[in-house]
Amino acid sequence: MKLAIQAGAARREQEVNGMEAFGEGVSVVEAKNKPPFNNTLFFHDEAGRACRYLTDPLAETYLAPPENLVKDGMLPPQEFEVCAALLEMKLFTERAISYGTWSFFRRSERRAAWEIARQKQNRLMELVNSSREHKAAIRRIVSAMPPDNGGREVLRPYTK
């Protein structure tokens, strides 16, 4: 499986031993092409015990939160779609926020950046409301965040 990381317009691909990076910039198109969820797959933790991330694609919390690498089929494809849309929303919103100090000089660029950020935010909202699996995926992602993480508050409207 290939790990695709987008850095601006440039794109590079790298082999990662049949595992896919979780939340590391998988494109939405690639996310839709993920294999179906298979709840019989497991991994071994540090103690050698068999573990799963999920047994049900509608679960709202993980049995064990995913780390960096996830084997194909261990998470539903909707999980990767939501991660890809969430990452896009985060990056474009941060870019729009960065225009704050330069807004006096670069108004048209700032306006365009905020328009794109709003489109990405709306796209994420549409995606998480498109199916029960997508809604469960965003809830799992938020539930795995540390309690003091500001992301929980920012993403609260997407989990309702």
Summarised one tens digit per residue, pLDDT across range 121-133 is 999 999 999 999 9
Rounded-to-integer distance, Cα 107 and Cα 131, Å: 38
Whole-number pLDDT of residue 24: 46
| CA–CA gap between residue 97 and residue 127 (Å, rounded) | 23
Find the helix packing angle between 107-128 and 77-98, rounded to 10°: 160
pLDDT value of position 123:
96
Claim: this prediction has a pTM higher than 0.85: no
* pLDDT over 60 at 28, yes or no: no
Segment 9-14 shows an average pLDDT of 28
Distance, CA of 57 to CA of 78 (rounded, Å): 9
- List Cα–Cα distances, 41 to 24, 36, 53, 125, 128, in angstroms: 22, 12, 9, 30, 25
